[in-house]
Amino acid sequence: MQPHLHDAPWIMTGPLVVLGILSVTGGGLNLPAFAGGSHFLEHWLEPVLRPVTALAMPLAHPHGMTEFLLLGGAIAAAVIGLAAGIRLTLARPVALPADQPPERGLARLLAAKYHIDEIYDFLVVRPLMWFSTRVLWKGIDQFIVDRIAVGGIARVTQGLGWLGSRLQNGQVAFYVAMFAVGAVIILRTLAR
């Protein structure tokens, strides 16, 4: 046994064990009449489905030899499938992929998964990447948001700050003159 191989963790095995137990329990509850069962699960939803089943045509259930033949056929199919699986997989060693000859024809197409990944990459991923990079990132984010909105506001603020620094030169007489000019402009506007 190879050291890197291990059983599946309980988080994966647990649900399968529960499903297996429930399957065996359900099979035991629904045994056919010839095996001593009562078809319990067959009538489980009858109270709920009674209005619907009243409209449906009654089903003929197999009895006697027909039931045995159907059961035997199902068991035979399972045994044949198991035998074929064992013969195809365990009877001869499975070659490693590196030892296999290269696939051709339909096997090559199937090995490449019908080239769905390549087609999806070409038709969906690449156009979305181009659109995301060129339009959304470089166009909208870098140019409109960063350069115009954020950078523009920063430049306007910087310009207003520079203008304010030109107006505030430390001479009180200049401040009074500017206040008077502003007051005259406001009074004229209100007087109209």
Q: What are the domain boundaries of the chain?
A: 16-50, 118-191
Dihedral of CA 69/73/74/78: which sign? positive
Q: Which amino acid is at 42?
A: E
H or E element, residue 25: helix 10-29
Long-range contacts of 177-182 (CB under 8 A, 24+ apart): none
Alpha helices in 126-171 (DSSP H): 126-130, 151-167
Instruction: Output the CA angle 49-54-56, nearest 5 degrees.
Output: 95
Residues in the chain: 192
As a three-state string, the secondary structure of 67-82 is HHHHHHHHHHHHHHHH
Show pLDDT as tens, one digit a residue, over the chain (192 residues): 466 777 889 999 999 999 999 999 988 888 877 777 777 777 788 888 888 877 777 777 777 788 789 889 999 999 999 999 888 888 777 777 777 778 888 888 888 888 899 999 999 999 999 999 999 999 999 999 999 999 999 999 999 988 888 777 778 888 888 899 999 999 999 988
